[in-house]
Structure 1
Amino acid sequence: MAGQVSKEEVGTVLMQAMLAAKNLRPQRDRLMQLRRRLQQLSPGEDDKAAVQELATNLFKVYYIGIEAGARSIATCLELAAENGARLALNPAFAVMPDQHLYSALLTQRLPARPTTQKEAFARVEATFYAVKLAQEHYLPRCIEHLVGDRPPHPAPTATGEPPQAAASGSVDLDKARTYLNHACTLVSLAVKHIDLAVVVLSRFVDPEEVASLSDFTDKFAYISEDGPYPASD
């Protein structure tokens, strides 16, 4: 059918969506866990070590953890486009200021029960923007307010290190909480979107192949070397 990924190719697209879903869910849980820790902190020199540990763990999630999910989502959209999908990407998202994009993603009107490939890929697109906004804006700003320095931008070939805590005067726990709350909201939204996309795309693949892809992505989805979350809390 015109405008759709063929049955022969949709499995490769679905695999990337599954990889993203299985990456993002534990990252969301980890962020929720770290948000609870941040809520328990209070300003003071005695908390400096705890603040540094929190910033380091947040860095691992944003720089390493969800980076794998973001790449899978981008690959999913690229493969879909290459194989004939009729995407409904919103060009305004790419140029919106961060705060406007945050509001737009939260109020975006999408079918509650997507049924078509086009509707599924709209969910993948929303997942991509939600993840990238959390990764590139809200989580780095949270870390900046914890340690007084902006962490490096994530890149596939980079080996970044989390910034070290600066003087206590540069720490603003209230602002850090605000940014982390926004990041948690975005990643939770992304998980909902990608889960729906996986359900819909699975309908275009033979059940045996869906089961095989699920087993494969269970083994190869990147969580992180510190997972699973939040068992250690």
Structure 2
Amino acid sequence: MRLDIITLFPEIFNFIKNIGVVGRAYKNKKWELNTWNPRDFTNNKTRRVDDNPYGGGPGMVMSAESLENTVSFIKHEHMLSGFNDIPVILLSPIGDVFDQDRAIRLSKTSGAILVCGRYEGVDKRFVNRCVTHEISIGDFILSGGEIAALALIDAVVRLLPNVLGNDRSKACESFSIYKSGLLDDHPYTKPRNFKEEIVPEVLLNGNHSDIRKWNREKSLMITFMRRPDLIIKARNNGFLTEDDELFISLLKNNSNDTT
């Protein structure tokens, strides 16, 4: 996988190549990272990439010309390397919310161009002409798209084949299709007794059927309490069993009894 990042601050992306499973995958050539500064693709002597917004308003806007020149150069490199139809993703607060499904789909492609906006945003004409997808990582505002791009990179790269030490980890995580898009509660490790709080006995008895049932109920419980919208999504997608629905009914009854 090849990821190309358009950013005014390429140094932000240095650390991700050296840390954790994503850094190890980079060193093992599971993915490639290139950063491009749009200042290097301007047609003015001062390398200026922004200007005042038409119609007034605070802040500055990144120019369409510098960004389109950068994308065009990257696409030419892609063509020479045999990469085609690479998506151009703008990290934007008005984009579609990034989730595990999108991470999985992107991990199955040959890569993407990620555009990190700054200031008050980017010229809409660049979006119209070059951007294929707009993605947001949540309902909040960042100073630029770099942190969002780092989050996307981490989420996608760890899904690449043979990146995680145990590929079963991907199947057992929150939001995975094997978890029906539900959340995982926090796990336990040694010691069994930590300051008088003891690991639940069901996790110690070696009965894998009981453990699976306990884990499923804990997953349903924490999702019901913290992200009930995911319960609805799992139900609509046909991921809930009759036992799941019975347990959710018990949770609802208990919730009503305490309100």
Q: TM-score, normalised by structure 1?
A: 0.27
Instruction: State the structure with more CA Rg.
Output: 2
**Higher percent of residues as strand:** 2
**Higher percent of residues as helix:** 1
